[in-house]
Amino acid sequence: MATCLPWRALNTIKAQSPILNHCIACCCSCREAQRKNPRCGNSSTINKNKFSPSFHGWLTPEQFGAQFGPAAADVETITSWLADQGFRVNRISAGNTVIEFDGTAGQVRKAFHTQIHRYVVAGQEHTANASDPEIPAALAPVVAGVVSLNNFPAVSHALSMGTFQKSRATGAISPVAPSPLAARPFYTPPSTSNTFLLAPADFATIYNVTPLWNTGIDGTGQSIAIIGDSNINVSDIQNFRALFGLSNNFTTDNVIVDGIDPGILKRR
């Protein structure tokens, strides 16, 4: 069942107001990709079929772009058009499927024929386009559309149903009465909570990674991508590592923000 949040429109934002870090998606949907290469539509299935010669033959973004993405000339046409409209092109994705750009509300209005308005939704102010953006006919065959011209954050639709436990003897699942969060110590929950948290040594035991660690395979040089609308507090990571006796080798230099730094937001 859909829920309609209370909202009201305010005014159009000023023409010089910045519109930052928005994207144009190039036509590399399965429909376009299948036209160029019929293998694209079922490439995921082929890669998961252990009897296929392409089993686990995953493509890098560059390889996907080369096989199924738009032509370099098409990407150049789009970026040139964005520049002609006054936008600043920040980055082109490795697979040539997304082009990130910055500009102003006035440039958006002129290029995409839509105005950026201010709205109050559920008591919070946001900006968004008042109508669907229009793409020039000459670019339509290669542009799937503008990804977004608003600042509404993605909202999780997960619903917490509480905490449950499963009986080893009968397999029956039953709800567990929640315990106050404030009563929980750092990483050892009360015995009545039926909650079991993992420390690094627990992880090593459960997944038997200690032999790897002993041979020097400890994740050094690997990167972890975190998708979120907030940056992370480096001191949280440092305190965690100190708590469990891990090496103190994490600093702000380890955090690389892809795009505009949103800062530390309270709602994380």
pLDDT in tens, 197-246: 778 888 888 889 889 989 988 888 888 888 877 888 899 999 888 888 88
Q: Which DSSP helix (H) or strand (E) runs through 8?
A: strand 7-12
Beta carbons within 8 Å of 151's beta carbon, 6+ residues apart: 126, 127, 128
pLDDT of 126-155, one tens digit each?
888 999 999 999 898 889 888 888 888 777
Q: What tokens were used for 133?
A: 């953006």
Q: In this structure, is residue 40 part of a structural domain?
A: no
Q: In this structure, is residue 113 part of a structural domain?
A: yes
Q: In this structure, is residue 162 part of a structural domain?
A: no
- At which residue do the structure tokens 């934002």 appear? 13
Q: What tokens were used for 216?
A: 């020097």
Q: In this structure, is residue 106 part of a structural domain?
A: yes
Total domains, the chain: 1
Q: What tokens were used for 115?
A: 């105005």
Q: In this structure, is residue 53 part of a structural domain?
A: no
Q: In this structure, is residue 239 part of a structural domain?
A: no
Q: In this structure, is residue 133 part of a structural domain?
A: yes
Give every residue of the chain whose pLDDT is below 70, as ranges.
Answer: 1-9, 27-47, 159-162, 177-196, 266-268
Q: In this structure, is residue 224 part of a structural domain?
A: no
Which range of residues forms the domain containing residue 124? Answer: 7-27+70-146
Counts of helices then strands in the chain (DSSP H, E): 8, 9
Q: Rounded CA gap, 100 and 27, in Å? A: 15
What does the radius of gyration of the chain's CA atoms come to, in whole angstroms? Answer: 25
